[in-house]
Protein backbone atom coordinates (compact mmCIF):
# COMPACT_ATOMS: atom_id res chain seq x y z
CA UNK A 1 0.00 0.00 0.00
CA UNK A 2 1.42 3.37 -1.04
CA UNK A 3 0.97 6.17 1.48
CA UNK A 4 1.82 9.77 0.68
CA UNK A 5 2.02 12.85 2.92
CA UNK A 6 1.03 16.08 1.17
CA UNK A 7 1.77 19.63 2.25
CA UNK A 8 2.86 23.06 1.13
CA UNK A 9 5.03 25.60 2.91
CA UNK A 10 6.76 28.96 2.72
CA UNK A 11 9.12 28.03 5.55
CA UNK A 12 12.37 26.15 5.79
CA UNK A 13 11.81 22.56 6.96
CA UNK A 14 10.12 22.74 10.35
CA UNK A 15 10.23 20.32 13.25
CA UNK A 16 7.02 18.77 11.91
CA UNK A 17 8.46 18.30 8.41
CA UNK A 18 11.58 16.68 9.89
CA UNK A 19 9.38 14.13 11.64
CA UNK A 20 7.20 13.50 8.59
CA UNK A 21 10.16 12.98 6.27
CA UNK A 22 11.61 10.41 8.67
CA UNK A 23 8.57 8.12 8.38
CA UNK A 24 9.91 5.32 6.23
CA UNK A 25 6.53 3.80 5.33
CA UNK A 26 5.33 7.14 3.96
CA UNK A 27 6.50 9.30 1.08
CA UNK A 28 6.52 13.07 1.53
CA UNK A 29 5.54 15.61 -1.15
CA UNK A 30 6.15 19.28 -0.38
CA UNK A 31 4.78 21.88 -2.78
CA UNK A 32 6.75 25.09 -2.96
CA UNK A 33 5.43 28.62 -3.23
CA UNK A 34 7.06 31.86 -4.30
CA UNK A 35 8.19 32.59 -0.73
CA UNK A 36 9.58 29.10 -0.06
CA UNK A 37 13.37 29.10 0.41
CA UNK A 38 15.05 28.46 -2.95
CA UNK A 39 17.27 25.76 -1.44
CA UNK A 40 14.39 23.86 0.19
CA UNK A 41 15.11 20.66 -1.75
CA UNK A 42 18.69 20.68 -0.52
CA UNK A 43 17.45 21.01 3.05
CA UNK A 44 15.19 17.96 2.82
CA UNK A 45 16.71 14.68 3.95
CA UNK A 46 14.02 12.61 2.29
CA UNK A 47 11.02 13.35 0.14
CA UNK A 48 9.99 15.22 -2.99
CA UNK A 49 10.11 19.00 -3.22
CA UNK A 50 8.12 20.41 -6.14
CA UNK A 51 9.42 23.81 -7.15
CA UNK A 52 7.19 26.57 -8.56
CA UNK A 53 8.82 25.99 -11.94
CA UNK A 54 7.96 22.28 -11.83
CA UNK A 55 4.36 23.13 -10.97
CA UNK A 56 4.09 25.55 -13.89
CA UNK A 57 5.46 22.92 -16.24
CA UNK A 58 3.03 20.34 -14.85
CA UNK A 59 -0.16 22.38 -15.37
CA UNK A 60 0.19 26.11 -15.90
CA UNK A 61 -3.54 26.82 -16.40
CA UNK A 62 -4.32 25.14 -13.08
CA UNK A 63 -1.42 26.94 -11.40
CA UNK A 64 -2.70 30.26 -12.71
CA UNK A 65 -6.26 29.52 -11.60
CA UNK A 66 -5.14 28.67 -8.07
CA UNK A 67 -2.74 31.60 -7.77
CA UNK A 68 0.42 32.00 -5.72
CA UNK A 69 1.17 32.71 -2.07
CA UNK A 70 -1.76 30.62 -0.85
CA UNK A 71 -2.15 27.35 1.00
CA UNK A 72 -4.32 25.97 -1.81
CA UNK A 73 -1.10 25.25 -3.72
CA UNK A 74 -1.27 21.92 -1.88
CA UNK A 75 -3.81 20.78 -4.46
CA UNK A 76 -0.74 20.15 -6.62
CA UNK A 77 0.53 17.81 -3.91
CA UNK A 78 -2.72 15.85 -4.13
CA UNK A 79 -2.20 15.48 -7.87
CA UNK A 80 1.42 14.39 -7.32
CA UNK A 81 0.17 11.74 -4.88
CA UNK A 82 -2.41 10.59 -7.42
CA UNK A 83 0.25 10.28 -10.13
CA UNK A 84 2.42 8.31 -7.70
CA UNK A 85 -0.37 5.77 -7.29
CA UNK A 86 -1.18 6.62 -3.68
CA UNK A 87 -3.73 4.48 -1.84
CA UNK A 88 -3.90 6.71 1.25
CA UNK A 89 -3.06 10.40 1.37
CA UNK A 90 -2.30 12.38 4.52
CA UNK A 91 -2.78 16.14 4.25
CA UNK A 92 -0.77 18.01 6.89
CA UNK A 93 0.40 21.46 7.96
CA UNK A 94 4.02 22.20 8.70
CA UNK A 95 3.19 23.50 12.20
CA UNK A 96 1.49 20.28 13.34
CA UNK A 97 4.16 18.20 15.06
CA UNK A 98 3.29 14.48 14.92
CA UNK A 99 3.20 12.37 18.06
CA UNK A 100 4.48 8.81 18.11
CA UNK A 101 0.90 7.60 17.52
CA UNK A 102 0.58 9.48 14.21
CA UNK A 103 -0.86 7.11 11.55
CA UNK A 104 -0.62 4.16 13.94
CA UNK A 105 -4.40 3.78 14.21
CA UNK A 106 -5.52 4.19 10.62
CA UNK A 107 -9.12 3.14 10.03
CA UNK A 108 -9.49 4.00 6.32
CA UNK A 109 -11.48 1.22 4.62
CA UNK A 110 -11.74 -0.82 7.83
CA UNK A 111 -14.92 -1.57 9.80
CA UNK A 112 -14.48 0.51 12.95
CA UNK A 113 -16.63 0.88 16.04
CA UNK A 114 -17.26 4.52 16.90
CA UNK A 115 -19.20 6.73 19.26
CA UNK A 116 -21.93 7.56 16.77
CA UNK A 117 -23.89 10.78 17.28
CA UNK A 118 -27.40 11.24 15.93
CA UNK A 119 -28.25 14.92 15.67
CA UNK A 120 -31.44 16.57 14.51
CA UNK A 121 -29.47 19.62 13.38
CA UNK A 122 -28.34 19.96 9.76
CA UNK A 123 -24.67 19.68 10.77
CA UNK A 124 -22.53 18.08 13.49
CA UNK A 125 -19.68 19.74 15.37
CA UNK A 126 -17.09 17.13 16.42
CA UNK A 127 -15.20 19.43 18.80
CA UNK A 128 -18.21 19.96 21.06
CA UNK A 129 -18.44 16.19 21.60
CA UNK A 130 -15.15 16.18 23.51
CA UNK A 131 -13.90 17.48 26.85
CA UNK A 132 -13.84 20.99 25.31
CA UNK A 133 -17.58 21.56 24.75
CA UNK A 134 -17.41 25.38 24.81
CA UNK A 135 -15.46 25.65 21.54
CA UNK A 136 -16.31 24.58 18.00
CA UNK A 137 -14.60 23.47 14.80
CA UNK A 138 -13.71 26.07 12.19
CA UNK A 139 -16.45 26.10 9.56
CA UNK A 140 -19.28 24.91 11.78
CA UNK A 141 -22.32 27.17 11.22
CA UNK A 142 -22.30 29.78 13.99
CA UNK A 143 -26.10 29.85 14.09
CA UNK A 144 -26.15 26.23 15.32
CA UNK A 145 -23.67 26.57 18.20
CA UNK A 146 -26.26 27.23 20.95
CA UNK A 147 -28.34 24.26 19.73
CA UNK A 148 -25.63 21.59 19.82
CA UNK A 149 -26.78 18.51 21.68
CA UNK A 150 -24.77 15.32 22.15
CA UNK A 151 -27.29 13.26 24.10
CA UNK A 152 -28.10 10.80 21.29
CA UNK A 153 -25.00 8.62 21.06
CA UNK A 154 -24.58 4.90 20.49
CA UNK A 155 -21.93 2.40 19.46
CA UNK A 156 -21.99 1.77 15.72
CA UNK A 157 -19.60 0.37 13.13
CA UNK A 158 -18.69 2.38 10.04
CA UNK A 159 -16.13 2.03 7.24
CA UNK A 160 -14.40 5.43 6.99
CA UNK A 161 -13.23 7.08 3.78
CA UNK A 162 -11.69 9.94 5.75
CA UNK A 163 -9.97 9.93 9.14
CA UNK A 164 -9.66 13.41 10.62
CA UNK A 165 -7.29 13.29 13.57
CA UNK A 166 -7.46 15.98 16.24
CA UNK A 167 -4.70 18.35 17.37
CA UNK A 168 -3.63 19.26 20.88
CA UNK A 169 -2.38 22.72 21.68
CA UNK A 170 -3.97 25.53 19.69
CA UNK A 171 -6.84 23.68 17.95
CA UNK A 172 -8.54 24.31 14.61
CA UNK A 173 -11.26 26.74 15.63
CA UNK A 174 -12.44 29.89 13.89
CA UNK A 175 -11.16 33.38 14.63
CA UNK A 176 -14.19 34.39 16.70
CA UNK A 177 -13.83 31.31 18.88
CA UNK A 178 -10.08 31.87 19.23
CA UNK A 179 -10.46 35.53 20.20
CA UNK A 180 -13.12 34.66 22.77
CA UNK A 181 -11.65 31.50 24.32
CA UNK A 182 -7.90 31.38 23.49
CA UNK A 183 -7.91 27.63 24.24
CA UNK A 184 -4.94 25.39 24.90
CA UNK A 185 -6.40 21.94 24.42
CA UNK A 186 -5.56 18.43 25.47
CA UNK A 187 -8.32 16.29 23.99
CA UNK A 188 -9.28 13.22 26.02
CA UNK A 189 -8.66 9.97 24.15
CA UNK A 190 -11.80 8.41 25.61
CA UNK A 191 -14.04 10.47 23.31
CA UNK A 192 -12.67 8.88 20.14
CA UNK A 193 -13.21 7.57 17.56
CA UNK A 194 -16.44 9.39 16.79
CA UNK A 195 -18.71 9.98 13.81
CA UNK A 196 -22.17 11.37 13.13
CA UNK A 197 -25.22 11.19 10.89
CA UNK A 198 -24.87 14.69 9.40
CA UNK A 199 -22.29 16.72 7.51
CA UNK A 200 -19.44 17.92 9.71
CA UNK A 201 -16.38 20.09 9.15
CA UNK A 202 -12.90 18.60 8.92
CA UNK A 203 -9.71 20.34 7.93
CA UNK A 204 -6.63 19.66 5.82
CA UNK A 205 -4.01 19.94 8.54
CA UNK A 206 -3.98 16.40 9.97
CA UNK A 207 -6.31 14.33 7.84
CA UNK A 208 -6.09 10.96 6.05
CA UNK A 209 -8.09 10.18 2.91
CA UNK A 210 -8.77 7.15 0.81
CA UNK A 211 -7.18 8.16 -2.50
CA UNK A 212 -10.31 7.16 -4.41
CA UNK A 213 -11.81 10.44 -3.18
CA UNK A 214 -9.03 12.66 -4.54
CA UNK A 215 -10.96 13.55 -7.69
CA UNK A 216 -13.65 15.25 -5.61
CA UNK A 217 -11.47 16.45 -2.74
CA UNK A 218 -10.30 19.90 -3.79
CA UNK A 219 -9.17 22.76 -1.57
CA UNK A 220 -11.14 25.55 -3.19
CA UNK A 221 -9.05 28.70 -3.76
CA UNK A 222 -10.35 32.26 -3.47
CA UNK A 223 -12.75 31.56 -0.60
CA UNK A 224 -10.36 32.31 2.24
CA UNK A 225 -10.25 29.98 5.22
CA UNK A 226 -13.19 27.90 4.03
CA UNK A 227 -11.06 26.14 1.39
CA UNK A 228 -10.73 22.83 3.22
CA UNK A 229 -14.03 23.10 5.10
CA UNK A 230 -16.07 23.36 1.92
CA UNK A 231 -13.97 20.55 0.44
CA UNK A 232 -15.02 18.44 3.43
CA UNK A 233 -18.70 19.30 3.15
CA UNK A 234 -18.60 18.58 -0.58
CA UNK A 235 -17.14 15.07 -0.43
CA UNK A 236 -19.33 14.14 2.53
CA UNK A 237 -22.37 15.24 0.51
CA UNK A 238 -21.04 13.01 -2.30
CA UNK A 239 -21.02 10.05 0.10
CA UNK A 240 -17.63 10.02 1.85
CA UNK A 241 -17.81 8.83 5.46
CA UNK A 242 -15.64 10.68 7.98
CA UNK A 243 -14.35 9.43 11.32
CA UNK A 244 -12.70 11.70 13.89
CA UNK A 245 -9.85 10.22 15.90
CA UNK A 246 -7.74 11.20 18.88
CA UNK A 247 -5.10 13.91 18.67
CA UNK A 248 -2.01 12.71 16.85
CA UNK A 249 -0.22 16.06 16.53
CA UNK A 250 0.62 19.07 18.65
CA UNK A 251 -0.15 22.30 16.86
CA UNK A 252 2.63 24.81 17.42
CA UNK A 253 0.52 27.34 15.56
CA UNK A 254 2.22 29.75 13.17
CA UNK A 255 1.60 33.43 13.93
CA UNK A 256 -1.84 34.60 12.73
CA UNK A 257 -3.59 37.96 12.58
CA UNK A 258 -6.98 37.00 14.02
CA UNK A 259 -8.80 39.97 12.52
CA UNK A 260 -7.44 39.00 9.10
CA UNK A 261 -8.47 35.38 9.76
CA UNK A 262 -11.97 36.54 10.67
CA UNK A 263 -12.26 38.45 7.42
CA UNK A 264 -11.09 35.37 5.51
CA UNK A 265 -13.76 33.29 7.27
CA UNK A 266 -16.64 35.66 6.57
CA UNK A 267 -17.77 33.80 3.45
CA UNK A 268 -18.35 30.84 5.75
CA UNK A 269 -20.14 32.81 8.45
CA UNK A 270 -22.50 33.97 5.73
CA UNK A 271 -22.97 30.71 3.80
CA UNK A 272 -22.11 27.63 5.91
CA UNK A 273 -25.63 27.11 7.23
CA UNK A 274 -27.10 27.39 3.73
CA UNK A 275 -24.47 24.98 2.41
CA UNK A 276 -25.00 22.22 4.95
CA UNK A 277 -28.75 22.52 4.43
CA UNK A 278 -28.55 22.33 0.64
CA UNK A 279 -25.65 19.98 -0.13
CA UNK A 280 -26.97 16.64 1.18
CA UNK A 281 -29.64 16.57 -1.52
CA UNK A 282 -27.70 18.51 -4.18
CA UNK A 283 -23.89 18.22 -3.81
CA UNK A 284 -23.25 20.14 -7.04
CA UNK A 285 -24.95 23.16 -5.47
CA UNK A 286 -21.47 23.83 -4.08
CA UNK A 287 -20.57 25.41 -7.42
CA UNK A 288 -23.19 28.11 -6.86
CA UNK A 289 -21.22 29.43 -3.89
CA UNK A 290 -17.83 29.58 -5.61
CA UNK A 291 -16.28 32.46 -7.54
CA UNK A 292 -15.63 31.78 -11.22
CA UNK A 293 -11.86 31.44 -10.80
CA UNK A 294 -12.38 28.80 -8.12
CA UNK A 295 -14.79 26.84 -10.33
CA UNK A 296 -12.27 26.99 -13.17
CA UNK A 297 -9.51 25.67 -10.91
CA UNK A 298 -11.73 22.77 -9.79
CA UNK A 299 -12.55 21.89 -13.40
CA UNK A 300 -8.86 21.91 -14.37
CA UNK A 301 -7.95 19.83 -11.31
CA UNK A 302 -10.55 17.17 -12.09
CA UNK A 303 -9.25 16.76 -15.64
CA UNK A 304 -6.26 14.92 -14.17
CA UNK A 305 -8.58 12.07 -13.15
CA UNK A 306 -10.31 11.55 -16.51
Q: Which of 105, 59, 98 is nearest to 78 (CA)?
A: 59
Annotate 268-293 with b (16+ C-beta within 10 A) or e (fewer): bbebbbebbebbbeebebbeebbeee
Give residue 217's pLDDT: 98
* The pLDDT value given to residue 254: 67
In whole angstroms, how far apart are CA 187 and each of 167, 183, 190, 253?
A: 8, 11, 9, 16
233-246 pLDDT, tens digit per residue, is 999 999 999 999 99
Kindly state the average pLDDT of the residues 260-288.
96
Closest Cα to residue 159, out of 123, 190, 195? 195
SS3 state of residue 232: helix
Over residues 111-136, mean pLDDT: 98
Would you state the pLDDT for residue 116?
98
Q: What is the DSSP letter of 146?
A: G
Residues facing 29 on adjacent strands: 6, 48
Residue 10's alpha-carbon distances to 13, 37, 258, in angstroms, are 9, 7, 20
Tell me the average pLDDT of the chain.
96
Go through the domains of the chain in sequence order and give each one's CATH number: 3-305 (3.90.550)
- Looking at the predicted structure, is the pLDDT value of residue 106 above 90? yes
Residue-wise pLDDT tens digits, 160-219: 999 999 999 988 899 999 999 988 999 999 999 999 999 999 999 999 999 999 999 999
CA 49 – CA 249 distance, rounded (Å): 22
* pLDDT bucket at 144, cuts 50 / 70 / 90: very high
- Residue pair 63/37 in contact (Cβ under 8 Å)? The answer is no
Amino acid sequence: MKKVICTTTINAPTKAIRKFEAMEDWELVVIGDLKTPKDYAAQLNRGIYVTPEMQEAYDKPLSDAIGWNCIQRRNLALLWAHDMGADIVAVVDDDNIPYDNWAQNLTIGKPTEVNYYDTDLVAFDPVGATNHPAIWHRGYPLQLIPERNYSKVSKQTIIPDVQADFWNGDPDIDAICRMEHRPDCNFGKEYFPLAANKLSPFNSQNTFLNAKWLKDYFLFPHIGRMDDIWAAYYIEAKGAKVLYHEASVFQDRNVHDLVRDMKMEYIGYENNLKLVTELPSTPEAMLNYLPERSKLAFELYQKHFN
